[in-house]
Structure formats: structure tokens, C-alpha cells
Amino acid sequence: MNLIREQTPPEKFTGYFNVLEACKQNGCPVCTLTEQSIRRHIDNILYENVNDPDTRIALRSSRGMCVSHTDVLLKAGDAFGISILYEDIVREVGSVMTQQSVRALNASRPCPVCQFKLSQENHYIKTFKDHLVRQELQDALKESSGLCLVHLRRVCDHLQDEEAQRWIRALHAEKLETLRAHMREFIRKHEMQYSHESVTEVELQSCVVAINILVGMNA
């Protein structure tokens, strides 16, 4: 496909190669990279920034991490680091309670990991947009599971070229057709007259993949 050939893409850099690598894995490459970054970020907080004043202020103000990032935090499993961070938060909330003020209990900042996540997503979406003219990335995207709907929308919002938008949308429509075919097979094999046919692993996982594609997550 000839995508805006006249435009020269920026130099290849680590982020670009990370995107290429992520395309080889299951699930949306932007989700994969963002989730990896979040895990690294939380590990980094726990191993290096537990005593960093800015990190502590941010977490105190946000009243800890949000529910979804709390799961990542608990999976990191650093009991000692987490106990230092959360003792601080718990003591802060306890002291606010003595003031008997409900309003003071509210968080004054959003979850710091959510903010980090947004910046990472923007970074990878920009990488996608900037390098989509490269045949190498187009081929990698064709071979991948494709972007989730959330990130596809954002990549399309950034693409100026109509031809590029048409190409990426058609590619994902094709991928959805394949997924739907697996789902239809899964449904068919649940019918009594075909129940002797075995359901393949891909068909079994098709519902999970469909949900992940719609909301943007790698289960």
C-alpha cells in the first residue's frame, strides 16, 4: 500500500522498535506497550521512589492509586515498599478525619498512574502515526491482532491523510470479520446437531478477544 509516500517519517528510535515487537504479541500493541510501561513504572516507584517526596505527595493527594492500578500494585507484591507508601496515606486520611471535615477527605489529584498511562498511550499513538508510512510497520500491523477500538480511534484522529485512514480502517474491518467468523463458529458448535464438533482454542477465546478489542485491554 502507498501511504503518503512523499512524507518522510522521523528517524527510527527505540519506541518504534518496541511497537514492531509488540505487533508480534497477542492483543493491541498500544495496550501491550502501555501495560508493560505501567508495570515498570510501578516497580520503579516501589524500588526507587518510595522515599521520594514528590511521589509521596502525589499519592497522598490522590488518596492512593485507582482500583485498576491497585491490582497491578498488588501483583508487584513488594509488601515492604507498599506498606511504607500506604502507611503515609492511611495516616494522612486518619488525620483528616479528626478535623471532622468530609470535603477534606476528597482526593485533590487523579491517580498518578492514570496520568502516566495517558502520557504513554500518547507516546505510542504518536509513534504509530508518524511511522505508519513505513512498509515494515504496515506489514507488522497486518500480521498483528490489530489495535483495539479505543486506540484505533485515537490513531485515526491523528492521521491527516485520508488514504491512510481508509487503509487502517479497512484492515481492522477485515480483522473483525475474522474474529466474528470464529464467534459464529463458537455459537454454531453449541447447537445440538453440531455439538460433536470440537470447539477450537481460538473460537473459545473469541469472546474474550472481542471484549478486549471494544474496551482496550489485554486480558
Give the Cα separation of 107 and 96 in Å (integer): 12
Which residue is associated with the grid cell 458448535? 189
Q: Does 83 bind another protein (CB under 8 A)?
A: yes
Which residue is associated with the grid cell 507516546? 123
Binding footprint of another protein, residue count (CB under 8 A)? 61
Measured between its terminal Cα atoms, the distance across the chain in Å is 32
For 95-104, letters b (16+ CB in 10 Å) and e give ebeeeeeeee
**What CA–CA distances, in Å, run from 169 to 79, 141, 147, 162?**
45, 12, 10, 10
Closest CB 74 distance from another protein, rounded Å: 6
Among 13, 51, 109, 204, binds another protein (CB under 8 A): 204
Closest CB 139 distance from another protein, rounded Å: 20
Q: Does 70 bind another protein (CB under 8 A)?
A: yes
For the chain, the C-alpha Rg in angstroms (whole number) is: 22
Measured from the CB atom, the residue of 37 and 206 that comes closer to another protein is: 206
**What CA–CA distances, in Å, run from 89 to 61, 101, 107?**
9, 17, 11
Stretch that binds another protein, among 34-42, 101-109, 124-132, 135-143 (CB under 8 A): 101-109
Measured from the CB atom, the residue of 140 and 217 that comes closer to another protein is: 217
- Long-range pairs for 69-76: beta carbons < 8 A, 24 or more residues apart: 69/38, 69/42, 69/111, 69/113, 69/114, 69/117, 72/38, 72/39, 72/42, 72/113, 73/42, 73/46, 76/39, 76/42, 76/43, 76/46
Q: Does 193 bind another protein (CB under 8 A)?
A: no
Q: Does 142 bind another protein (CB under 8 A)?
A: no
Stretch that binds another protein, among 12-20, 120-128, 133-141, 185-193 (CB under 8 A): 185-193
Q: Does 152 bind another protein (CB under 8 A)?
A: yes
Closest CB 68 distance from another protein, rounded Å: 7
Instruction: Give the HSE-up count for residue 7: Cα atoms under 13 Å, Cβ half-sphere.
Output: 15
Q: Binders of another protein among 40-69, rule CB under 8 A?
A: 63-68
| Interface positions with another protein (CB under 8 A) | 63-68, 70, 73-74, 79-80, 82-84, 86-87, 89-91, 93-94, 97-98, 100, 102, 105-106, 149-150, 152-153, 156, 162, 165-166, 169-170, 172-173, 176-177, 179-180, 183-184, 186-187, 190, 204, 206-208, 210-217, 219
